[in-house]
Amino acid sequence: MATDSPRVCPAKLAGTLDSNLRKIFQDPSKILSPYIKEGMTVLDMGCGPGFFTVEIAKMVGPSGKVIAADLQEEMLKILKKKIQGTELESRIKLIKADEDKINVTDKVDFILIFFVAHEVEDKDKLFSQLRSVLKDDGKFLIVEPKHFHVSTEAFKLTLKKAKDNGFNVQPGPKHLFSQSAILTNR
Protein backbone atom coordinates (compact mmCIF):
# COMPACT_ATOMS: atom_id res chain seq x y z
CA MET A 1 0.00 0.00 0.00
CA ALA A 2 1.42 3.38 -0.96
CA THR A 3 1.04 6.27 1.43
CA ASP A 4 -0.79 9.37 0.27
CA SER A 5 0.95 11.73 2.68
CA PRO A 6 2.98 14.40 0.83
CA ARG A 7 5.46 14.35 3.76
CA VAL A 8 6.54 10.80 3.02
CA CYS A 9 9.32 10.08 0.51
CA PRO A 10 7.66 7.96 -2.19
CA ALA A 11 9.00 4.53 -3.11
CA LYS A 12 9.61 5.74 -6.68
CA LEU A 13 12.57 7.71 -5.20
CA ALA A 14 14.07 4.55 -3.68
CA GLY A 15 16.87 4.59 -6.28
CA THR A 16 18.18 7.96 -5.10
CA LEU A 17 18.19 6.76 -1.48
CA ASP A 18 20.16 3.67 -2.43
CA SER A 19 22.80 5.04 -4.79
CA ASN A 20 26.57 4.64 -5.00
CA LEU A 21 26.86 8.43 -5.05
CA ARG A 22 25.18 8.60 -1.63
CA LYS A 23 27.69 6.07 -0.29
CA ILE A 24 30.45 8.61 -0.97
CA PHE A 25 29.06 11.23 1.41
CA GLN A 26 26.98 9.03 3.74
CA ASP A 27 28.98 5.81 4.04
CA PRO A 28 26.83 3.53 6.26
CA SER A 29 29.76 1.61 7.73
CA LYS A 30 31.65 4.82 8.65
CA ILE A 31 28.54 6.36 10.20
CA LEU A 32 27.51 3.28 12.17
CA SER A 33 30.76 1.53 13.15
CA PRO A 34 31.13 3.51 16.43
CA TYR A 35 27.80 2.10 17.63
CA ILE A 36 27.08 -1.31 16.15
CA LYS A 37 28.82 -4.48 17.29
CA GLU A 38 28.48 -8.15 16.43
CA GLY A 39 25.53 -9.91 18.04
CA MET A 40 23.43 -6.78 18.53
CA THR A 41 19.75 -6.43 17.72
CA VAL A 42 19.29 -3.21 15.74
CA LEU A 43 16.14 -1.40 14.65
CA ASP A 44 16.34 0.52 11.35
CA MET A 45 13.16 2.56 11.67
CA GLY A 46 11.93 3.94 8.35
CA CYS A 47 14.43 1.72 6.54
CA GLY A 48 13.31 2.69 3.02
CA PRO A 49 15.01 0.48 0.41
CA GLY A 50 17.59 -0.64 2.99
CA PHE A 51 20.59 1.59 2.25
CA PHE A 52 21.59 1.25 5.93
CA THR A 53 19.85 -2.09 6.69
CA VAL A 54 22.17 -4.20 4.54
CA GLU A 55 25.32 -2.73 6.08
CA ILE A 56 23.88 -3.12 9.59
CA ALA A 57 23.14 -6.81 8.88
CA LYS A 58 26.79 -7.30 7.91
CA MET A 59 27.98 -5.50 11.06
CA VAL A 60 25.84 -7.51 13.52
CA GLY A 61 27.02 -10.77 11.94
CA PRO A 62 25.29 -14.16 12.02
CA SER A 63 24.53 -13.90 15.75
CA GLY A 64 22.82 -10.51 15.42
CA LYS A 65 19.52 -9.32 14.05
CA VAL A 66 18.15 -6.29 12.19
CA ILE A 67 14.56 -5.19 12.35
CA ALA A 68 13.79 -3.13 9.27
CA ALA A 69 10.48 -1.28 9.62
CA ASP A 70 8.79 0.99 7.12
CA LEU A 71 5.42 2.51 6.45
CA GLN A 72 5.55 1.63 2.77
CA GLU A 73 5.11 -1.94 1.59
CA GLU A 74 6.89 -0.96 -1.66
CA MET A 75 10.08 0.00 0.22
CA LEU A 76 10.03 -3.32 2.10
CA LYS A 77 9.55 -5.20 -1.19
CA ILE A 78 12.63 -3.53 -2.69
CA LEU A 79 14.66 -4.48 0.39
CA LYS A 80 13.28 -8.03 0.37
CA LYS A 81 14.31 -8.49 -3.27
CA LYS A 82 17.81 -7.20 -2.49
CA ILE A 83 18.46 -9.70 0.32
CA GLN A 84 16.55 -12.71 -1.02
CA GLY A 85 18.82 -15.75 -1.31
CA THR A 86 21.75 -14.02 0.43
CA GLU A 87 23.23 -14.91 3.82
CA LEU A 88 21.77 -11.67 5.17
CA GLU A 89 18.17 -12.71 4.60
CA SER A 90 17.83 -14.65 7.85
CA ARG A 91 19.26 -11.77 9.90
CA ILE A 92 16.73 -9.19 8.68
CA LYS A 93 13.15 -9.10 9.90
CA LEU A 94 10.89 -6.89 7.78
CA ILE A 95 8.07 -5.08 9.56
CA LYS A 96 5.23 -3.10 8.00
CA ALA A 97 4.77 -0.10 10.30
CA ASP A 98 1.61 2.00 10.49
CA GLU A 99 1.58 5.81 10.49
CA ASP A 100 1.35 5.97 14.30
CA LYS A 101 2.34 2.42 15.31
CA ILE A 102 5.84 1.03 14.90
CA ASN A 103 4.61 -2.59 15.18
CA VAL A 104 7.94 -3.63 16.73
CA THR A 105 7.99 -5.65 19.95
CA ASP A 106 11.57 -6.99 20.14
CA LYS A 107 13.89 -5.21 22.56
CA VAL A 108 16.81 -3.63 20.71
CA ASP A 109 20.37 -2.49 21.48
CA PHE A 110 20.44 0.27 18.90
CA ILE A 111 17.94 2.33 16.91
CA LEU A 112 18.66 4.25 13.72
CA ILE A 113 16.17 6.73 12.32
CA PHE A 114 17.86 8.34 9.35
CA PHE A 115 16.00 11.08 7.45
CA VAL A 116 12.69 9.80 8.83
CA ALA A 117 11.49 11.93 11.79
CA HIS A 118 10.42 14.92 9.65
CA GLU A 119 8.05 12.57 7.79
CA VAL A 120 6.30 11.50 11.00
CA GLU A 121 3.41 13.68 12.11
CA ASP A 122 3.01 12.44 15.69
CA LYS A 123 6.60 12.46 16.95
CA ASP A 124 5.46 12.06 20.58
CA LYS A 125 3.93 8.68 19.74
CA LEU A 126 6.99 7.69 17.74
CA PHE A 127 9.43 8.51 20.56
CA SER A 128 7.35 6.89 23.28
CA GLN A 129 7.10 3.65 21.27
CA LEU A 130 10.80 3.69 20.40
CA ARG A 131 11.66 4.21 24.07
CA SER A 132 9.59 1.16 24.98
CA VAL A 133 11.68 -1.11 22.73
CA LEU A 134 15.15 0.33 23.46
CA LYS A 135 17.06 -1.70 26.07
CA ASP A 136 18.07 0.21 29.23
CA ASP A 137 21.69 0.49 28.07
CA GLY A 138 20.74 0.95 24.39
CA LYS A 139 21.55 3.88 22.09
CA PHE A 140 19.58 5.67 19.43
CA LEU A 141 21.00 7.71 16.52
CA ILE A 142 18.66 10.23 14.94
CA VAL A 143 19.79 11.98 11.76
CA GLU A 144 17.82 14.59 9.86
CA PRO A 145 18.59 16.53 6.68
CA LYS A 146 19.88 20.04 7.24
CA HIS A 147 18.74 23.53 6.33
CA PHE A 148 15.94 24.00 3.87
CA HIS A 149 14.53 20.48 4.33
CA VAL A 150 14.61 20.54 8.16
CA SER A 151 15.57 23.82 9.85
CA THR A 152 17.80 23.90 12.93
CA GLU A 153 14.75 25.10 14.85
CA ALA A 154 12.58 22.19 13.63
CA PHE A 155 15.30 19.71 14.62
CA LYS A 156 15.48 21.30 18.10
CA LEU A 157 11.71 20.86 18.45
CA THR A 158 12.03 17.20 17.45
CA LEU A 159 14.74 16.69 20.08
CA LYS A 160 12.54 18.41 22.67
CA LYS A 161 9.87 15.80 21.96
CA ALA A 162 12.50 13.10 22.47
CA LYS A 163 13.41 14.66 25.85
CA ASP A 164 9.74 14.98 26.82
CA ASN A 165 9.45 11.24 26.22
CA GLY A 166 12.28 10.43 28.62
CA PHE A 167 15.34 10.33 26.37
CA ASN A 168 18.64 11.86 27.31
CA VAL A 169 19.84 13.85 24.25
CA GLN A 170 23.49 14.45 23.34
CA PRO A 171 24.92 16.07 20.20
CA GLY A 172 25.53 13.47 17.50
CA PRO A 173 28.32 13.08 14.95
CA LYS A 174 28.69 15.74 12.26
CA HIS A 175 28.09 14.63 8.67
CA LEU A 176 27.64 16.52 5.44
CA PHE A 177 24.10 17.80 4.75
CA SER A 178 22.75 16.48 8.03
CA GLN A 179 22.20 17.15 11.73
CA SER A 180 22.16 14.43 14.35
CA ALA A 181 21.80 13.49 18.00
CA ILE A 182 22.46 10.47 20.20
CA LEU A 183 19.63 9.47 22.48
CA THR A 184 19.87 7.19 25.50
CA ASN A 185 17.44 6.11 28.20
CA ARG A 186 17.65 8.25 31.31
Ligand X SMILES: C[S@@+](CC[C@H](N)C(=O)[O-])C[C@H]1O[C@@H](n2cnc3c(N)ncnc32)[C@H](O)[C@@H]1O
DSSP 25-88: HS-HHHHHTTT--TT-EEEEET-TT-TTHHHHHHHH-TT-EEEEEES-HHHHHHHHHHHTTSTT
Instruction: Give whichever of 121 and 164 is closer to ligand X, judged by the CB atom.
Output: 121
Options 35, 114, 140, 167; binder of ligand X; rule CB under 6 A: 114
Cβ burial of 147 (10 Å; 0-12, 13-18, 19+) is exposed
Which residue of this chain has its Cβ atom nearest to ligand X in the complex?
48
Residue 71 sits in the site that holds ligand X (CB under 6 A): yes
Q: Of 47 and 59, which has the nearer Cβ to ligand X? A: 47
Stretch that binds ligand X, among 41-49, 149-157, 159-167, 175-183 (CB under 6 A): 41-49
β-sheet bridge partners, residue 112: 44, 141
Quick one: which of 23, 58, 80, 99 contacts ligand X (CB under 6 A)?
Answer: 99
Stretch that binds ligand X, among 29-37, 46-54, 80-88, 132-140 (CB under 6 A): 46-54
- Alpha-carbon distance of 138 to 52, in angstroms, equals 18
Nearest one of 1, 114, 139, 122 to 53, comparing CA atoms? 114
Smallest distance from the beta carbon of 155 to ligand X, in angstroms?
15
Report the C-alpha gap between 134 and 24 in whole angstroms: 30
Binders of ligand X among 1-20, rule CB under 6 A?
8-9, 17
Selected from 110, 115, 140, 155, the binder of ligand X by CB under 6 A is 115
Q: Which residues here bind ligand X, judged by CB under 6 A? A: 8-9, 17, 46-48, 51-52, 69-72, 75, 97, 99, 114-116, 119-120
